[in-house]
Chains A and B, each alone.
Chain A
Amino acid sequence: MTLLQFRPPPSTEDPESDTPNRRRPVTKADVMEAGYAALAAVVGAGLLRVVFGWTGVMGTAVTAYLLFLVAFYLLQRDGASDESAIDRLVTVAIWSAGCMVVALLVWMLGFLLIKGLPDLRPSFFTEDLKGHGPLNPGGGARAAIIGTFEQVGLATLVVVPIAVMTAIYLHELKGRLARPTRFIIDAMSGLPSIVAGLLVFTVWVESHGFSGVSGSAALVVLMLPTVTRTSEEILRTIPDSLREASLALGAPQWRVIVRVVLPTALAGLVTAVILGIARAVGETAPMLLTAFGSNNTNVNILHGPQSDLPLFAYSLIRLPSKAQNDRAWTGALVLVILVLVLFVTARLVSNLSQRKLGRGR
Chain B
Amino acid sequence: MTAADTTPIPPSPRHAPGATTAPQTLRDAPPPGPGGDWGPPPPGPQDQPRGPGAVLAGGAQPATLEAVALSAWFGKRKVLERCSLRMEAQKVTALIGPSGCGKSTFLRILNRMHEVVPSAQIAGRVELDGVDIYGGSLSTTAVRTKIGMVFQKPNPFPAMTIGQNVLAGLKLSGTKSGVDLPALVEECLTKAGLWNEVKDRLNEGGQTLSGGQQQRLCIARALAVRPQVLLMDEPCSALDPISTRVVEETIVELADDITIVIVTHNMQQAARVSTQCAFFLVEDQGKPGRIIEAGDTRVMFEAPTDPRTFDYVTGRFG
A359 surroundings in chain B (CB, below 8 A): 158, 205, 207
CA distance A260 to B168 in the complex (A): 9
B148 surroundings in chain A (CB, below 8 A): 248-249
CA distance A244 to B114 in the complex (A): 10
B159 surroundings in chain A (CB, below 8 A): 260, 263-264, 266, 357
Say yes or no: is A296 at the interface (Cβ < 8 Å to chain B).
no
Say yes or no: is B105 at the interface (Cβ < 8 Å to chain A).
no
Q: Which residue of A lies closest to B201 (CB)?
A: A358
A251 surroundings in chain B (CB, below 8 A): 141, 144, 169, 172-173
CA distance A245 to B152 in the complex (A): 11
Q: What interface size band does chain B fall in?
A: 20 to 34
Q: Which residue of B lies closest to A262 (CB)?
A: B159
CA distance A53 to B143 in the complex (A): 84
CA distance A116 to B239 in the complex (A): 60
B160 surroundings in chain A (CB, below 8 A): 263, 357
Q: Are B145 and A249 in contact (CB under 8 A)?
A: yes
Closest chain-A Cβ to B180's Cβ sits at a distance in Å of 20
Given A255-B174, A259-B172, A260-B172, check contact A247 B208 (CB 8 Å).
no
Q: Are A248 and B205 in contact (CB under 8 A)?
A: no
Query: Which of B144-178 touch A at CB < 8 Å?
Result: 144-145, 148-149, 151, 153, 155, 157-161, 168-169, 171-175
B222 surroundings in chain A (CB, below 8 A): 248-249
Q: Are B155 and A244 in contact (CB under 8 A)?
A: yes
B221 surroundings in chain A (CB, below 8 A): 245, 249
Q: What interface size band does chain A fall in?
A: 20 to 34
A244 surroundings in chain B (CB, below 8 A): 113, 116, 151, 155
B161 surroundings in chain A (CB, below 8 A): 357
Give the secondary structure class of A's interface: helix
B218 surroundings in chain A (CB, below 8 A): 245
A255 surroundings in chain B (CB, below 8 A): 171-174
Q: Are A247 and B225 in contact (CB under 8 A)?
A: no
Given A358-B204, A359-B205, check contact A249 B155 (CB 8 Å).
no
B207 surroundings in chain A (CB, below 8 A): 357-359
Say yes or no: is A234 at the interface (Cβ < 8 Å to chain B).
no
Say yes or no: is B111 at the interface (Cβ < 8 Å to chain A).
yes
Say yes or no: is A97 at the interface (Cβ < 8 Å to chain B).
no
CA distance A244 to B117 in the complex (A): 11
Query: Which of B64-85 touch A at CB < 8 Å?
Result: none
Say yes or no: is B142 at the interface (Cβ < 8 Å to chain A).
yes
0 or 1 for each of A139-156: is its CB under 8 Å from B? (1 = yes):
000000000000000000
Q: Are A241 and B155 in contact (CB under 8 A)?
A: yes
Given A259-B172, A358-B205, check contact A252 B155 (CB 8 Å).
no
Q: Are A358 and B151 in contact (CB under 8 A)?
A: no
CA distance A356 to B204 in the complex (A): 7
0 or 1 for each of A220-245: is its CB under 8 Å from B? (1 = yes):
00000000000000000001011111
Residues of A participating in the B interface, judged by any CB pair closer than 8 Å:
239, 241-252, 255-256, 259-260, 263-264, 266, 356-359
User: What are 22 A-B pairs at a CB distance below 8 A?
Assistant: A241-B155, A244-B113, A245-B218, A245-B221, A249-B148, A249-B221, A250-B145, A251-B141, A251-B144, A255-B173, A260-B159, A260-B172, A263-B159, A264-B157, A264-B158, A357-B158, A357-B159, A357-B205, A357-B206, A357-B208, A358-B204, A359-B158
Given contacts A256-B172, A357-B204, 16 further A-B contacts (CB under 8 A): A239-B155, A241-B155, A244-B155, A246-B157, A247-B116, A248-B149, A249-B148, A249-B225, A250-B173, A251-B141, A251-B172, A260-B157, A264-B159, A357-B158, A357-B207, A358-B205
